[in-house]
Chains A and B, each alone.
Chain A
Amino acid sequence: MAKTADGPILEVENLTKYYESGGGLVDTLLGRSQEVKALDGVDLELYPGETLGIVGESGCGKTTLARSLLRLIEPTAGTVRYEGEDLTAASDDRLRALRKDIQYIFQDPFASLNPRLTVGDIVGEPLDIHDIAEGEARADRVSDLLETVGLNQRHAHRYPHEFSGGQRQRIGIARALAVDPEVIVCDEPVSALDVSVQAQILNLLADLQSEFGLSYIVIAHDLSVVEHIADRVGVLYLGEFAEVGPTEDVFQPPYHPYAEALLSAIPEPDPGWEGDRIFLSGDVPSPLNPPSGCRFHTRCPKVIQPKGTDMAQSEWRSLMDLKQRLRKADSLEAVTAVREGVEDEDLRQLSRSALEARVRDEFGLPETVGDREAEEVFGTALDHLYDGAFEAARTALNDAFESPCERTDPELFDVGDDHRIACLLYDDAYPETPTRRS
């Protein structure tokens, strides 16, 4: 189901959610509270009958996005338009009515069903809330719904704890279907399930889509799930989209470097396969203080070299790592390789050359860096480190090694039909970057 001629059924603009972090009253008064930027200006459209997959690693804002869409979490800024009507401005009563059109399937089928209610009451609850059916009609509708999702109507009198994970997820789906919605937001609908059951649930979702003409937004961290079910995919990184496009396009070059790394991590059953996994350096940065410029630049294997610098990409990445590590470091332990079996070593006793070897070892730098100027800067920085002047070392590295990625926040650049990537590599201002050519 590709994009139809109709306008989008759901249109999200600049959706933003900041959480207040820490901060009791005292912290707020002293201005010490910080904001966790869980979601930072996300735009998306969902067209009738399509499935939009959203992938990303944990903590990148997937669930926040899903819940903000329905205002289960109040977004900080931005608009969500359902058939042209702004949900974020809707009154409570109007919002309740709109819940008939937009439904939600939860990740954990064990936590999302009230253990005190029978399945019939759980599935029938939306009917009661919206006065859709009563008495006989309600019972009929409940058994219809249970049959639709592949359960027996006899199950209506049972309690959730008597069901397996897959069955419970079916109950959750039946509950969402009860109000006859147009859009269903599925938050990791299968991640809590057994692999063998995942396929059943995904197929059920696909069947229901064609039967009822539903539109899905499917959140997942599993790329194979998304590949299976989604028409279009959005790759989320630290609360921003890194890449958006039709599924086939996202799963093929050109890639956003982050999407490329994610794709390389999909397990491949072929023993003859010798593709390389791309390992990202470092951890996901804290959303409390996301990196400047492109949010992925702290880990990006293809981080752009400044004009006039020309060295192997891996060496450049290593130098960037050294620079970033040094920003937070105030001891030599942080930037040197650990010798196995040696404890409480006093690194300040090392000679200049030994220290250099250890630093090169830690960051995988060769004997000499490919670029002469860079080698000189590295030498100067090491001199400062040897003298214990961390601040000077920091300045030396910061001045010399600054990637354009740190300065410029890339917008989503068009790279194909409806395929957009937020990476400076695809900006025409950087046509001669080495990775572009490869």
Chain B
Amino acid sequence: MSTDRGRIRITGFDADRVESREPLSDWTETRDTETEGRWTRAWREFRRNRSAMLGLYIVIAMSLLALFARPITIAGVTVQPISLAPYDPGAILYAQGLDVSAYEAPSLAHPFGTDGSARDVFSRVLYGGRFSLSIGFIVVLVTAAIGLVYGAVAGYYGGRVDEVMMRLLDLIFAFPGLLLALIIVAVLGKGYWELVLAFTAIGWAGYARLIRGEILKVKENEYVLAAKALGARDRRVIFRHVVPNAIAPLIVQASLSIGTVVIGVAALGFLGLGLPPSSAEWGTMLDQTRQTIVQGPGGSIPWWVTVFPGGAIFLFVMSMNLIGDGINDALDAQEGEDVARGGEV
């Protein structure tokens, strides 16, 4: 017995022996497969989701139909000559000498019938996609970008900067969203870009708050400190290390809110504050024919003038939601893989 330490020495840890021992796994260089990136994995996950893929196909189809509905001319040059819509969506057909009356039921010549001004509903629905879809995508793109930068700056710097920026945000949240949009349109007047502006003004706040919360969480990670220790500037730390790790919920939110914006545009249109009354935007079309929902001329209800534009809104919004859910699942499943760390259960 002794109180001296170190009487037992452990040997056999020399590197040569360790290198020449049996391999612990059957991994070899040749079995090495290329690593999948984050988005590749998410896309594979997304593709397995049937309802999301259905939504994606529908949205693509609707976008293509809207794109090819009428020829597109830029500065006098026709860049897209195809015209799927049989008639000009704005044309009043009997004025063109055709044998068509108002509220004609669907037929082979007019698959969706005609509306109160004897315009071809099928052409209008196809063409109307251009307004609804493009407003939806543009607004979401712009709002998400603004919200991302705003929320990232507030969340990353924190403290007083955060305090001031978030109070400004509360100002926007203080108004009911659609009401604020309505006021803006009422002040600025009707029009495509006025609508975009109105929905952008109310839309970005939600993204900013969402991304700020995520960033508060992500910036505590050690790799953020590691980047600072390397001498990275704030801009680099935010957009290379913090944002990519915080952006998943934003993408989900954005894909889901394209539908919301389309509904909002349609709602303003229905309230008569959307695009000019004669335009083929889906909500405006519903507004123009809303009295027919109750009773049409001669007691019959011309259901086609409301069902087809309404159905188009429904179909698009539902598809967008399916896609949003699919993205959510795809990114979530991947988070699961990433977050699981060795040693933690």
Contacts and interface: CB of A to CB of B under 8 A. Distances in A.
Contacts of B226: 104, 106, 112-114, 172, 175
Contacts, number: 108
B26 interface: no
Interface in B1-57: 1-5, 7-8, 10, 13, 15, 29, 32, 34-35, 38
Contacts of B4: 273, 275
Contact of B343 (A104, A117, A165, A269): A165
Contacts of B233: 96, 129
Contacts of A110: 341-343
Contact of A179 (B15, B230, B342): B230
Contact of B29 (A115, A154, A192): A154
B77 interface: no
A266 B338 contact: no
Interface string A189-220: 00010000001000100000000000000000
24 contacts: A67-B225, A72-B229, A95-B231, A96-B231, A99-B229, A104-B229, A107-B222, A108-B222, A113-B223, A114-B223, A116-B245, A129-B233, A157-B34, A159-B35, A161-B341, A175-B230, A179-B230, A179-B231, A199-B13, A268-B5, A273-B1, A273-B4, A273-B5, A274-B2
A134 B330 CA distance: 34
B110 interface: no
A129 B231 contact: yes
A172 B229 CA distance: 12
B232 interface: yes
B222 A106 contact: yes
Contacts of A111: 221-223
B241 interface: yes
A162 B245 contact: no
Contact of A158 (B29, B35, B338, B342): B35
B158 to A, nearest CB: 14
A114 B245 contact: yes
A274 B3 contact: yes
Contacts of B228: 72
Interface in A101-128: 103-104, 106-108, 110-118, 125-126
Nearest to A192: B343
A116 B244 contact: yes
A170 interface: no
B337 interface: yes
Given A111-B222, A161-B337, A266-B5, A99 B230 contact: yes
Contacts of A108: 222
B229 A70 contact: yes
B7 A129 contact: no
A172 B341 CA distance: 16
What 3 pairs between A and B have smallest CB-CB spacing? Answer: A99-B231, A111-B222, A96-B231
Contacts of A115: 223, 245, 338
B5 A270 contact: yes
Nearest to B241: A114
A241 B102 CA distance: 93
Nearest to B236: A129
Contacts of A272: 1-2, 7
Interface residues of B, number: 38
B227 interface: yes
B35 A116 contact: no
Chain A interface size band reads 35 or more
Interface of A: 67, 70, 72, 95-97, 99-100, 103-104, 106-108, 110-118, 125-126, 129-130, 152, 154, 157-159, 161-162, 164-165, 172, 175, 179, 192, 199, 203, 266, 268-270, 272-276
A270 B244 CA distance: 52
B245 A275 contact: no
Interface of B: 1-5, 7-8, 10, 13, 15, 29, 32, 34-35, 38, 221-223, 225-233, 236, 240-241, 244-245, 337-338, 340-343
B231 A100 contact: yes
Given A96-B231, A158-B35, A164-B342, A72 B225 contact: yes
B229 A154 contact: no
B120 to A, nearest CB: 50
Nearest to A107: B222
Nearest to A121: B240
A22 to B, nearest CB: 17
Given A179-B230, A270-B7, A270-B8, 12 more contacts: A103-B229, A103-B230, A110-B343, A112-B222, A112-B226, A114-B245, A125-B227, A129-B233, A164-B342, A273-B4, A275-B4, A276-B3
Contacts of A70: 229
Contacts of A125: 227, 230, 232, 240
A259 to B, nearest CB: 15
B321 to A, nearest CB: 27
A275 B2 CA distance: 7
A257 to B, nearest CB: 18
A273 B3 contact: yes
B231 A97 contact: yes
Given A113-B223, A114-B241, A129-B236, A275 B35 contact: no
B231 A126 contact: yes
Contacts of A276: 3
A270 to B, nearest CB: 5
A207 B3 CA distance: 34
Residue picked from A154, A157, A165, A272, most chain B C-beta under 10 Å: A272
Given A126-B230, A154-B29, A162 B35 contact: yes
B1 A112 contact: no
Residue picked from B10, B35, B241, most chain A C-beta under 10 Å: B35
B94 to A, nearest CB: 61
A164 B342 CA distance: 8
Residue picked from A67, A103, A125, most chain B C-beta under 10 Å: A125
